[in-house]
Amino acid sequence: MILAAGLGTRLRPLTWIRPKVLVPVMGMPLLYYWVWRLCESGFEAVVVNAFHLSDRLVKAVQEVDWPIPVEVRVESRLLGTGGGIRNVLDFFDDEPFVVVNGDILCNVDFTSLYAQHLESNSSVSLLLHDFPAFNNVAVDDRFILGFGDKARKLDRERSDVKLLAFTGIHVLTPQVLTGLEPGHPHEIIPVYRDLIHSGDPPSILFERSLRWREIGSVEAYRGLHSELAELPENCFPPLTSGQSICVHPTAEISPDADLRGMVVIGRNARIMDGAVLENVILWDDVEVRPKCRLRNCIVTDGVTVRGSQENEILFENR
């Protein structure tokens, strides 16, 4: 399951145009990235929940010839992480299944992840990593002991405890959520706290070579593109990395245009004579008029740009 129903408030105004899981990174929507990764790992089907701009997500899924079946479940009201997963339990058999937050990038080895979970004999396993800005999960050698304030308290009191961060990738046994009332909002962390209290704590999945990034904010989104341009190739396949210029094959660029720094140009974009683009991310169907100058800008779908713009996010009200 790919979680994609969130409002994406910190990523506005980008999420006024697309739901967060369709926001492009190096020209590729995050949903495409995750379906590709899951397919390559041998998964047979994917379900995606939707709420914010759900019509656009449904349309986007219908327009693609996916390598494996992709189903969208639209929530009539926002159900939260736990409620959203509970709402699609009929999609799965009785075997454990993987849940992925749709607003992250991660080079996780799903085959190894799933095998580790089966070996743990736990009801739930969470993929953790050491990311100091988000370290708020208390663990010992094998299991999760607490979250948030409880985790920090345990870390202060016990020398055998350390704090790690949750990646947003977990493996669940369906029975864990059958006690939640279907169609009602629920969060998942309280469910995991109940497992700890009942003596069946979630187990830890950990990969030392893990690369993980989130795009929860506009600043993180900009920073991710700059980082991907500097990283070696194939850090997050199939996303482009190791290249400062990323151009969709359908884009048209005048030979007189000047591309500087990190530039991403989306599908069917047109860059005209004398245009100068420096550290710019263009989404799909953007037209940059002659002699236009853009610096440190994000231009969303279908915008026609004239004149000079700097440090702006350009979008059309829809």
Q: Is residue 16 over pLDDT 70? A: yes
Range of the domain at 274: 244-314
Within a 10 A sphere around the Cβ of 118, how many other Cβ atoms?
A: 12
Residue 270 belongs to some domain of the structure = yes
Asked, for residue 106, whether it belongs to a domain, the answer is yes
pTM: 0.92
3-class secondary-structure state, position 116: helix
Residues 222, 213 contacting (CB under 8 angstroms): no
Name the one residue in this structure whose structure tokens are 């159900």: 79
- Residue 265 in contact with residue 271, Cβ under 8 Å? yes
Query: What would the pLDDT profile of 145-181 be if each residue is shown by its tens digit?
Result: 999 999 999 989 998 999 999 999 999 999 999 899 9
171 shares its domain with 284: no
- 115 band by pLDDT with thresholds 50, 70 and 90: very high
* Average pLDDT of the chain to the nearest whole number: 94
Give the whole-angstrom CA distance, residue 236 versus residue 209.
12
291 in the Ramachandran plot: left (φ > 0), alpha (ψ -120 to 50) or beta?
A: left
- Whether the CA torsion 53, 9, 189, 237 is positive or negative: it is positive
Nearest to residue 95, comparing CAs of 185, 189, 173, 153? 173
The answer to whether residue 138 sits within a structural domain is: yes
* 256 contact partners, CB below 8 Å, separation of at least 6: 273, 274
Q: Tell me how many domains the chain contains.
A: 2
Which three-class secondary structure state does DSSP give residue 109? coil
Indicate the residue among 196, 214, 232 that finishes a domain: 214
In a domain, 221, yes or no: no
Q: How many residues does the chain have?
A: 318
* Residue 234: inside a domain: no
One domain, residues 146 and 205: yes
For residue 35, being part of any structural domain is answered with yes
Return the CATH number at 306. Answer: 2.160.10.10
pLDDT above 60 for 204: yes
In the DSSP assignment, the letter for residue 108 is: -
Looking at the structure, do residues 165 and 270 belong to the same domain, yes or no? Answer: no
From the centroid of its chain, how far is CA 221?
Answer: 11
- Say yes or no to pLDDT of 274 above 60: yes
Same domain, 185 and 264: no
Alpha helices by DSSP H, the chain: 14-17, 30-40, 54-62, 80-86, 110-120, 148-157, 188-197, 218-230
Sign of CA dihedral 58, 31, 271, 250: negative
Q: How buried is 171 (Cβ within 10 angstroms: 0-12 exposed, 13-18 middle, 19+ buried)?
A: buried
Domain co-membership, 274 together with 164 = no
| Residue 166 lies inside a defined structural domain of this protein | yes
Q: How confident is the model at residue 216 (pLDDT cuts 50, 70, 90)?
A: confident
**Which of these three, 214, 235, 256, is where a domain ends?**
214
Structure tokens at 118: 């089966």
Residues 67 and 184 reside in one and the same domain: yes
CATH (domain of 18)? 3.90.550.10
- Domain end point (choices 195, 214, 233): 214
Same domain membership, residue 272 and residue 207: no
Is 231 inside any structural domain? no
Packing angle between helix 30-40 and helix 54-62, nearest 10 degrees? 50
Same domain for 44 and 141, yes or no, is yes
301 and 192 inside one domain: no
- Beta-bridge partners for 282: 265, 299
The verdict on 30 and 141 lying in the same domain is: yes
Q: State the Cα–Cα distance between residues 212 and 177, nearest whole angstrom.
A: 27
Q: Does 129 lie in the same domain as 262? A: no
Q: Is residue 46 a contact partner of residue 70, using CB atoms and an 8 Å limit?
A: yes
Rounded average pLDDT over 67-95:
94
Tell whether 194 and 250 lie within a shared domain.
Answer: no
